[in-house]
Amino acid sequence: MHGQGFNPIELGGDLSLFIPHAFAPHTVERLAALKRETGVTYTVHLPLWSVEPSTPLTPVRLGSVKALVDIIRATQRLEPEVYVLHATGALAAEFYQMRLPPGAKAVLLRGFQAGARASIQQILAETGIASRKLAIETIEFPFDLTFELAEELDLSICLDTGHVLSGFPGRSDLDAVLERVLPRLAEIHLHDSPLWTTGAPIAYGKDHQALGKGSLDVAALLGQLAAAHWDGPIIFELTVPEALASLDMVRQVTR
């Protein structure tokens, strides 16, 4: 992929779920050698499958922290540009989508936010990484609560364009979200999605489409980034053919 113009490459921490030695020392050494030989750099997406860093069930939360810390420690010698974290997991997303009285839902979501806060503080303490090396992603959890965590703990943000367009973090205008997160923006997951409308059910699986297949104004987004002189990593969370097609579109709109 590096030879086709992709750099940096994002390493998926969830590989360890199915390939236990994915980040064993000898594997990481090969990745380090590739970095020295080619100049490729890395970001690391920390595990999200089976991980619940915001759960109120303390033993599960602490086990999730250990799984996240293990991947950070295993990959630190690669000097990743950033570690991307889903600060909340599937359980928090499930409660977020439940039909509950607004007051009760607000209390529950604040509880998940508190669990995420405790987990992130522990991750930073145990790994020693700088807080800005940890980027929490815009996922299926209220954007305002996610952004509060970033401000409180001085974290970075990973902006996932498809998630925002799909309504995962709530009704949010992508331009406004980008403007708000720019001072903390460390990485972008760039993919397309149809625009979600308030009141409609979230259409799961409509995100993570190649550029041009949804509602994303690619030229406007890249123009906003250029105007801000932002030059961080942009990652295509797509199949290889979709990523190549999307890279072609980026080249076309930036000529």
Beta pairing partners, 187: 158
The predicted structure's pLDDT at residue 198:
76
The predicted structure's pLDDT at residue 3:
59
User: pLDDT digit string (tens) for 5-30?
Assistant: 789 999 999 999 999 999 999 999 99
How far is Cα 94 from Cα 108, in angstroms, rounded to an integer? Answer: 11
CA pseudo-torsion sign 52, 54, 60, 65: positive
CB 166 within 8 A of CB 147: no
CB 172 within 8 A of CB 140: no
Strands (E), the chain: 9-12, 42-45, 83-85, 134-137, 156-160, 185-189, 234-235
CB 88 within 8 A of CB 116: yes
64 pLDDT more than 60: yes
User: pLDDT digit string (tens) for 187-211?
Assistant: 999 999 999 887 777 767 889 999 9
Q: Which amino acid is at 122?
A: Q
Strands (E), 161-227: 185-189
Given pLDDT bands bounded at 50, 70 and 90, which one contains residue 1? low
How far is Cα 75 from Cα 212, in angstroms, rounded to an integer? Answer: 34
User: pLDDT digit string (tens) for 159-183?
Assistant: 999 999 999 998 778 999 999 999 9
The predicted structure's pLDDT at residue 196:
86
How far is Cα 199 from Cα 197, in angstroms, rounded to an integer? Answer: 6
How far is Cα 118 from Cα 111, in angstroms, rounded to an integer? Answer: 11
Considering only the C-alpha atoms of the chain, give the largest distance between any 2 of them, rounded to a whole number of Å: 57
Query: Rounded to an integer, what is the distance from CA 240 to the centroid of its chain?
Result: 19
Q: Are strands 83-85 and 42-45 parallel, antiparallel or unpaired?
A: parallel
How far is Cα 167 from Cα 53, in angstroms, rounded to an integer? Answer: 22
What is the domain count for the chain? 1
CB 47 within 8 A of CB 87: no
The SS3 of residue 223 is helix
Average per-residue pLDDT for the chain: 94
Range of the structural domain that residue 13 is part of: 2-253
CA pseudo-torsion sign 41, 124, 109, 181: negative
The predicted structure's pLDDT at residue 255:
79
Q: How far is CA 65 from CA 16, 34, 53, 92, 127, in A?
A: 15, 29, 6, 16, 11
CB 190 within 8 A of CB 246: yes
Given pLDDT bands bounded at 50, 70 and 90, which one contains residue 94? very high
Instruction: Report percent pLDDT > 90 for the chain.
Output: 88
What six digits make up the tokens of 83?
A: 């570690």
The predicted structure's pLDDT at residue 200:
75
The predicted structure's pLDDT at residue 204:
78
Q: What is the CATH classification number for the domain harbouring 70?
A: 3.20.20.150
Pick 201 or 120 by higher pLDDT. Answer: 120
